[in-house]
Structure 1
Amino acid sequence: MVSGLSGIGTVLVANRGEIALRVIRTLRRLGLRSVAVHSDADAGARHVREADAAVRLASGYLDIEGVVAAAKASGARAVHPGYGFLAENTAFARRCAEEGLVFVGPPPPAIEAMGDKIRAKATVAAAGVPVVPGGAEPGDDLAEAAARIGFPVLIKPSAGGGGKGMLVVRSAGELAEAVASARRTAAAAFGDATLLVERYVSDPRHIEIQVLADTHGNVIHLGERECSLQRRHQKIVEEAPSPLIDEETRRRMGAAAVSAARSVGYVGAGTVEFIVPGDQPGHPGYFIEMNTRLQVEHPVTEMVTGLDLVELQLRVAAGEPLPLAQQDVRMRGHAVEARVYAEDPARDFLPTGGRVLALAEPEDAAGVRVDSGLFPGAVVGSDYDPMLAKVIAWGSDRAAALRGLDTALRRTTVLGVTTNIAFLRALLADADVAAGRLGTGLIDQRLDALLAAAHATGAPPDEVLAAAALVLHDELSGGDDDPWDVPDGWRIGEPAWTTWPLAARGEPVAVRVRGLPARGAEVAVGDGPPSEARVAREGGDALVTLDGVTTRYACARDGHTVWLGRDGRAWALTRHLPGDPGDRAGAGLAGDGVVRSPMPGTVLLVKVVPGEAVTEGQPLLIVEAMKMEHTVTAPADGVVAELTARAGRPVDMDEVLAVIRAPDAGASPEATETGGS
């Protein structure tokens, strides 16, 4: 075993994206050499460029032997797994030990004990920690256990985490399909299809306790984090401390978390997660799982305690004792984190993709921190988790932290990839969120209002449509030497109007422009009155003036699509040419019978065959991306006239998967495709 940080020297970071960069940042501060690993797709990624050295992984990030070989070849003495990928893989931790590499994480038996939710519940229950009533395979029949507990119940992969494969089942009739889906996800995401069933606690608070343990028998906790704001059972906003927890409850939950860690001989940084009934203040919570790694949301704990958890992980892994005792832990102020995802909230938060055309992120400053793996030109695909970045704000109290986070998100712009930034701002502005009245069901309950507040549904505002048409018109007119080539609608007498049909969400909207925007023009949206307009360019931004009011937009163009960004919101507006099939925001549910993929991913399962009669809402196939399943259903009663989807085949967002036609319909699929405007 190495002794102290000086004995480590070089650390291989077995991860990618923002967490790899975050670990590299601490390694650099501590004077340790960093080695990145990368897949072929990530050869130009930021973590590769910013590490001291980098090694290609021919078989990707999950290749244990490839990562171990990279560590040995690079001269690394230690491996930091980050989170996800191999972070909680017992076999990986053991291989590191066999090769004399320091695994920056807990010992394999602790990972094994807590990685199996069934075993974990039994272990902590024996240590006196309260657990949620339930049943588990292989000893329990899930149907019998569910009936014994009473519906609704929660089906969960035993080896899982991050909400993947977790399904709420409200009746016995839903159980078989839910079990089949959870099993598929569990096998694909965790390599283990074992499931458990628990009593579903309606609208609970999700509270977790950060623990630290060393090899000298010291175990402490660093207080709690509130993680109740979730979609698809996955967190999107976290904070420390929780507005629910008082000092006595914090002491009780912290003691339970320390007992849970001690029960498995834990070493390093870990998180013990609890659910607390939202209607029972002071309840110490039920244990649900322990994450044997660094958590995504660890920055909020760092900001209120002033501690660097990655540094503490490294020091513990190097054999050093914890530098503080429980009585030394102090929480100061409040911190809130928002996760920026490549996802479309209006499409049930399905993953998106694309190339980052333009990027603006608030710089790290007093009270603001950004952990991000983004860079202009980065390609966001379906191979990895859709989280792109984390924006964190600290304040002297909760209200100040929320204000700081909203300001930081307002200054964040990502063009080229649809994200949840505007939705996050709408969520932070919700009255109950501001008041600390949180719950894991809050987003589902307020979804329509939150989407409307984020401008995530319906056509963009008229001023945005006008700005997009002016930018397109300006770009096509800029730099032309021949006045006959300028699209200003000039004719003898007076300029004519040029019409730009623009499609975003909903039907295309005709925007008319007359004149040259750089010199002065008029613009009219739909049948509305014209406005005086002008466009000036500053770097990648467009300054659009409408009737004397100037608005700055981040601006980028990808073919016929103009991306505009403002105040954390982004709009993609596509020039709708004659013969285009139109906007496809309703992918998978098109009224014309064309069934499209709701996200970039892979067809996991096809449930129908050509010629089969189907009914509206019937599952047709399952598309999987980033270990997330989405069932695509029939948009109407009819017959499967075309089926292009094949199990195992990758598909792009909006790619045609099938065509459903009424039994007596004679139109060809091609006619369906070319509706035009």
Structure 2
Amino acid sequence: MFSTVLVANRGEIACRVITTLKRLGITAVAIFSEADAEAKHVALADRAVCVGPAAAAESYLNIDAVIEAARETGADAIHPGYGFLSENVRFARACAAADITFIGPGDRALEIMGDKIRSKNHVAEAGVPLIQGISEPGLTDEQLITAGTALTFPVLIKPSAGGGGKGMHAVEQAQDLPDALATARRVAAASFGDDTLFIEQLIRSPRHIEVQVLADSHGNVVHLGERECSLQRRHQKIIEEAPSPLLDEPTRDRIGQAAVDTARSVAYVGAGTVEFLVSDDEPEKFYFMEMNTRLQVEHPVTEEVTGVDLVEQQIRIAAGESLALRQEDIALTGHSVEARIYAEDPEAGFMPSTGEILGLTEPGGEGVRVDSGLVLGLTVGTEYDPMLAKVIATGADRQQALSRLHSALGGTVIHGVTTNTQYLQQLTADPDVREGRLDTTMIERKLPSLQFPGPERDHAVAAALFAAPTRSFASPEAKAAGPRGWQCDGWRSNAHYAPTIQVLWERPGGAEEVFDVVVDGDADLRHDENVGSYLLRTSRTTSKVHLSAGANTRHGTQVWVTAESFTGMLTVLDHQAQTHRQLRLIEAEFVEAVPEVRSPMPGTVVSLAASSGDHVSAGARLITVEAMKMEHPLSAPLEGSVRIHVREGETVRLGQVLATVEADPSPDSKDM
């Protein structure tokens, strides 16, 4: 067994690997970028080494820096987690050259299965059924466009070196293929350092099912059942479960054997996943998609139903041990479901969200597990993947697991960054999800009907009492202490004065909702047993709320609120902030607005499709902004002359004006 292992990753997966290393008595070494100096995985490790600045290419993807960190700390082995360098054959070879064990498969498996084009051609020779497509390496955009004329649209563009849905684009019409290919190449190059693409026939309403395999260096290969990963948005998995509610036992055996055969065909060593598309109408048929030569994000659900620590198995296999598991020993017990928590705003079209973690409560209880990289004070930026944590719930059957997950998500509080937690709760309660009626396009179909509830009046009352200097008005203890003339309780010699506090909520897109909260002693806010948790009592009800203080700005005091089905930031306006707001509203009435193109997220400008002075049509692409490995194109709101205010490569803020478009003069104005 190794004495010291370096974990070449960050966030929740680094914490997950470090936990097993410590349980096995192995010294855990973390690496971190300058942006992650205060991260949870750094504090959890026995040692930590900074490998460069915030940009992943200069830190977590810097092979030389990672190898040097391993040498410096005397690491016997490196665990790559997932993403970053986990499927990089150059990194595996660099580890071997430095006499450091790479906890992953060998060169051949990485080369064949790490290249989606080559892997498809390889498994085709073994007789595994494939989807129709174009999978020749080295094709240019022009060659792919020409070859694509033989396909029936819609089609799916996929990066050959990719995974996790990054760079994948569904294309409905042939005329949209050139732009989609250009975008996919940019994302593939930025995410994987390889912009090779291939195209597949897009299968409507498919199921995404994958099989976990373990293989040692002594020729033993087993599978640990399948996972259902059909709940996806933009080809990115959101909720996964084990086992799949679709497969019967004969199909489960056949798909498991196909995964084992795939692993054997490349002399696979370690933990890996073979992914298949399965027809919802014909669940006995499956098609090979790819093999992921690493640990998967969704590995916890397999661990929960099999009782096998996959990270431990990876470490033991890499150390040369034989698998202690035999296929007949592996049984799936109960059901497990995982939900991924992302820093994104569902109501704003799932735009990435950034900020500082101001309040945090992670759920617990029977059957609930949380894999998380979150700590109070952590800054969530745009440099890395937006996944923050995973909530996993396990039960005796699928319904119990889903119910536990729904409850656990309701008990998850993350303040300072907008997340998809409430959205995940809606999914776990959806009738189709509950009944197992799933496919990879279901979420996209349901998005238009999803509801994102705003704050209620009691939420505004809680924020006002928490933030306003007059919060002692509602405190019986304050009223009972000291001479009445010195109390800040609204008393006047002629009459009692009940001040009104304005509480503002801004919807995505800029629309505002204002609550006038009258502080008249009718409401009371007291600490509950948990830090950040309060009991709000009004004449109508008593409810639990979670409150966290945000920034104090000229626009008011920011308060993050979680209560019932709402989580969001409210701004409590003092008298000065109310005056500023009124002046802004008055000014807006008399200023002629110039159509502006604002950034919907903090990020980086990756391409400019127009220059200042160009004449553009309404809907023409102007600028593309990237954040958290997701690109968002911005278009002209109307026809006219454009002025671009940013440069390619520039970092931009949420809401920053990137361009303005001056409308063409009307024919009538030209004649005057």
Query: CA–CA distance in 2 between the matches of 1:490 and 1:632?
Result: 56
Q: Say yes or no: does 1:511 pair with 2:515.
A: yes
Structure 1 contact 412–568 (Cα < 8 Å) conserved: no
Deviation at 1:48, TM superposition (A): 0.8
Q: Say yes or no: does 1:337 pair with 2:338.
A: yes
Aligned to 1:171: 173
Q: Say yes or no: does 1:561 pair with 2:558.
A: yes
Aligned to 1:350: 351
Letter of the 1:540 partner, please give it. Answer: G
Select which of 517, 529, 540 maps to 2:532: 540
Deviation at 1:567, TM superposition (A): 4.5
> What secondary structure, in the 3-state scheme, does the structure 1 residue paired with 2:149 have?
helix
Query: CA–CA distance in 2 between the matches of 1:203 and 1:11?
Result: 42
Query: CA–CA distance in 1 between the matches of 2:219 and 2:226?
Result: 22
Query: CA–CA distance in 1 between the matches of 2:511 and 2:171?
Result: 37
Query: CA–CA distance in 1 between the matches of 2:464 and 2:659?
Result: 34
> What secondary structure, in the 3-state scheme, does the structure 1 residue paired with 2:204 have?
coil
Deviation at 1:31, TM superposition (A): 1.0
> What secondary structure, in the 3-state scheme, does the structure 1 residue paired with 2:304 have?
helix
Structure 2 contact 463–572 (Cα < 8 Å) conserved: no
Structure 1 contact 471–542 (Cα < 8 Å) conserved: no
Aligned to 2:63: 64
Structure 2 contact 463–547 (Cα < 8 Å) conserved: no
Query: CA–CA distance in 1 between the matches of 2:572 and 2:293?
Result: 49
Query: CA–CA distance in 2 between the matches of 1:243 and 1:225?
Result: 9
Query: Unaligned regions of 5+ residues in structure 2, if any?
Result: 53-57, 586-591, 667-672
Aligned to 2:636: 634
Aligned to 1:405: 405
Structure 1 contact 503–574 (Cα < 8 Å) conserved: yes
Deviation at 1:136, TM superposition (A): 2.6
Distance 1:617 1:252, change over 3 A: same
Alignment of 1:501-650 (within 5 A): 501-505=503-507, 507-515=511-519, 520=521, 532-538=522-528, 539-558=531-550, 559=552, 560-567=557-564, 569-575=566-572, 577=577, 578-579=579-580, 593-640=595-642, 642-650=643-651
Query: CA–CA distance in 2 between the matches of 1:382 and 1:490?
Result: 52
Deviation at 1:256, TM superposition (A): 1.1
Cα deviation digits, residues 401-454 of structure 1 (max 9, x gap)? 00111111111100000000000000111100000000111111111222x0x4
Deviation at 1:511, TM superposition (A): 2.2
Distance 1:509 1:488, change over 3 A: farther
Distance 1:515 1:151, change over 3 A: closer
> What secondary structure, in the 3-state scheme, does the structure 2 residue paired with 1:148 have?
coil
Distance 1:381 1:483, change over 3 A: farther
Query: Unaligned regions of 5+ residues in structure 1, if any?
Result: 521-531, 584-589, 666-677
> What secondary structure, in the 3-state scheme, does the structure 1 residue paired with 2:399 have?
helix
Cα deviation digits, residues 625-654 of structure 1 (max 9, x gap)? 1221111122333432x4322110111222
Deviation at 1:47, TM superposition (A): 0.8
Alignment of 1:16-95 (within 5 A): 16-58=10-52, 59-95=58-94
Alignment of 1:133-144 (within 5 A): 133-138=132-137, 141-144=143-146
Distance 1:164 1:489, change over 3 A: farther
Cα deviation digits, residues 510-558 of structure 1 (max 9, x gap)? 3223335xxx1xxxxxxxxxxx422224442332223231111110121
Deviation at 1:335, TM superposition (A): 0.2
Letter of the 1:280 partner, please give it. Answer: E
Aligned to 1:653: 654
Cα deviation digits, residues 74-119 of structure 1 (max 9, x gap)? 1110110000111111111001111111110001221111111110
Distance 1:280 1:495, change over 3 A: same
Select which of 444, 467, 472 maps to 2:467: 472
Please, which moves more after superposition, 385-394 or 255-264? 255-264
Aligned to 1:527: none
Deviation at 1:281, TM superposition (A): 2.4
After TM superposition, the score normalised by the length of structure 1 is 0.89
Distance 1:483 1:50, change over 3 A: farther
Aligned to 2:427: 427
Task: Provide the identity percentage.
Answer: 52
Alignment of 1:190-339 (within 5 A): 190-283=192-285, 285-339=286-340
Cα root mean square deviation, aligned: 2.3
> What secondary structure, in the 3-state scheme, does the structure 2 residue paired with 1:57 have?
strand
Select which of 488, 499, 502 maps to 1:500: 502
Letter of the 1:598 partner, please give it. Answer: P
Letter of the 2:171 partner, please give it. Answer: V
Provide the aligned length of Structure 1 versus Structure 2. 631
Deviation at 1:339, TM superposition (A): 0.4
Structure 2 contact 502–514 (Cα < 8 Å) conserved: yes
Query: CA–CA distance in 1 between the matches of 2:7 and 2:96?
Result: 16
Distance 1:485 1:144, change over 3 A: farther
Please, which moves more after superposition, 394-403 or 616-625? 616-625
Distance 1:189 1:493, change over 3 A: same
Query: CA–CA distance in 2 between the matches of 1:154 and 1:461?
Result: 42
Query: CA–CA distance in 1 between the matches of 2:345 and 2:320?
Result: 45
Structure 2 contact 271–293 (Cα < 8 Å) conserved: yes
Deviation at 1:501, TM superposition (A): 4.6
Query: CA–CA distance in 2 between the matches of 1:366 and 1:242?
Result: 22
> What secondary structure, in the 3-state scheme, does the structure 2 residue paired with 1:605 have?
strand
Aligned to 1:672: none
Structure 1 contact 166–233 (Cα < 8 Å) conserved: yes
Aligned to 1:668: none
Distance 1:322 1:252, change over 3 A: same
Cα deviation digits, residues 578-614 of structure 1 (max 9, x gap)? 555989xxxxxx9962222111110101122223333
Q: Say yes or no: does 1:15 pair with 2:17.
A: no
